[in-house]
Amino acid sequence: MKTFRSGAIVFAVVICGVSFFSGIEPAFGLNQPPEGFKALFNGEDLTGWKGLVESPNTRAKMSREELAAKQAKADEEMKAHWSVVDGALVFDGGGHSLCTAKDYGDFEMFVDWKIEAGGDSGIYLRGSPQVQIWDTANRSVGAQVGSGGLYNNQKNPSKPSKVADKPIGQWNTFRIKMVGERVTVRLNDVLVVDNVVMENYWERDKPIYPTGQIELQSHGSKLYFRNVFIREIKNELRAEEKEAGFKQMFNGKDLTGWQGNTTGYVVKDGMIVVEPSLGGENLYTEREYANFIMRFEFKLTPGANNGLGIRTPMNVDAAYQGMELQILDNLSPKYSGLRPYQYHGSIYDVVAADETKKGCLKVAENWNEKDWKDGGWNYEEVVADGKKVRVKVNGETLVDADISTVTDSKVLERHPGLNNEKGYIGFCGHGDKLAFRNLRIKILD
């Protein structure tokens, strides 16, 4: 346990085994993360942050070139209104929200915030509004309920259970945990939101996006943030998945449970990274699967090509002797001549993915070994149940097919693997660098 001093008062806070503070500069230094967390803000400049470009669903429809142009403009505007003063992020009341350069899926974060009289702000999670911040004196807008609530919920609870705000002008601390659709919020060490489903504000008919950026919301008032720390929750089963019967396929440490090219597929920082220089062969599960639901995240480098082989024998061409679901940066100019069945998510050469949704993919523009500065993780779910195969990526259904309806004799002759009742699951390397994490599976009867 660490202790923190403010004048003659000593404070000690331990949260889930991690020493932390509540609105007070910690003994280990301002903007210095506790063990297991990373600093999203370095206390010196705006490195790791970017300006806001419209909404997640609108960005997904933009071409790579259009998004880059709008991002450059948003970044310039952001720099005009956000600055760093005495180790804190300061917003002058003009412009728009400040966004993380990276996207996040499941995570736990801490953030200190401070507002002035009449202040109004929030924390957007995965690009969606919001964990509310406001001056509780603003009774005309309902602020008397306190900060921390999921303000934009309509069906699920939107208000915090208690008022835990400190007086205006003092620092407050949020501890926010988001796993799947559910969010838990502690404000100044008081539980105010307990595992509540966060709704998708942008597309009410869909669940919250599986990944997205974190935003410090601007609402026309001066704001202050500091001590912004995050811990990504990787390769851990969610509680609801455990209850539903899912099992981990990758432990985040080594390739236990996998076989094949265990040299070219390297475990780094909780990821399985495909290293083409070490061989572009395939990596297979140690056991065979018949009917299942598989969930995983993947990150693409520009132009990357891979595949997910299902119900396939080992050491064969999974696209024909089994089924291969495309994993491909189909937004890359080098793939401008793709056939419909080659887009990401397609059952290769058999069933085409919905081409109108190809923009749902995220691609890392810049690769370096320390971090992927741009783009984000993609979340994919594959359901193989008898002859029915469904592929969803980032909440969008790309394929929903019944392969028993495939009647083209030439296709059936080329793809005897369509009749396989079981086989291995494998990643099919095609000489490009990409990464996978959070692999889990549920066996269907």
SS (H, E, C) 20-63: ECCCCCCCCCCCCCCCCCEECCCCCCCCCEEECCCCHHHHHCCC
Closest CA relative to residue 296, chosen from 181, 107, 439: 439
DSSP calls for 314-333: TTS-HHHHSEEEEEE-TTSG
Task: Give every residue of the chain whose pLDDT is below 50, as ranges.
Answer: 1-28, 372-374
* Four-point Cα dihedral 358, 70, 96, 363, nearest 10: 40
What pLDDT was estimated at residue 368? Answer: 57
Task: Indicate the length of the chain as a whole number.
Answer: 445
Minimal CA–CA distance to 404: which of 350, 443, 354? 350
Question: How crowded is the C-beta side of 405, counted as CA atoms within 13 Å?
Answer: 6
Residue 24's pLDDT is 44
Helix runs in 82-181, H state only: none
Considering the segment(s) 3-232 as one domain, its CATH architecture is Sandwich (2.60)
DSSP state of 347: B
Helix, strand, coil share (%) of the chain residues, nearest 5? 15, 40, 45
Q: Does domain 239-443 fall into CATH 3.30.420.40? A: no
Burial class (CB in 10 A: 0-12, 13-18, 19+), 336: exposed
Please tell me the predicted confidence (pLDDT) of residue 435: 92
Q: To 5 degrees, how large is the angle CA 122–CA 239–CA 441?
A: 115
pLDDT of residue 217: 95
Asked if 227 and 113 count as a contact pair (C-beta separation under 8 A), the reply is no
What residue type is 26 in one-letter code?
A: P
**Spatial separation of the C-alpha atoms in residues 70 and 62, rounded to whole Å:** 10
| Fold agreement between 3-232 and 239-443 | yes
On whether the CB atoms of residues 196 and 156 are closer than 8 A, the answer is: yes
Residue 280 has a pLDDT of: 67
Query: In Å, how far from its chain's centre is CA 74?
Result: 22
Give the pLDDT score at 360.
85
Residue partners of 419: CB distance under 8 A and separation at least 6: none
pLDDT reported for residue 240 = 87
Of 318, 143, 109, 349, nearest in space to 225 by CA: 109
- Residue 367: what pLDDT? 57
- 290 SS3 class: coil
Q: What is the structure's pLDDT at 124? A: 98
Domain assignments of the chain as residue spans, ordered by start = 3-232, 239-443
How many CB atoms lie under 10 A from the CB of residue 6? 11
Residue of 124, 119, 81, 111 whose CA lies nearest to 215: 124
Query: What pLDDT score was predicted for residue 18?
Result: 39
Residue 202: the pLDDT is: 96
Predicted local confidence at residue 3, as pLDDT: 30
297 and 379 in contact (C-beta within 8 Å)?
yes
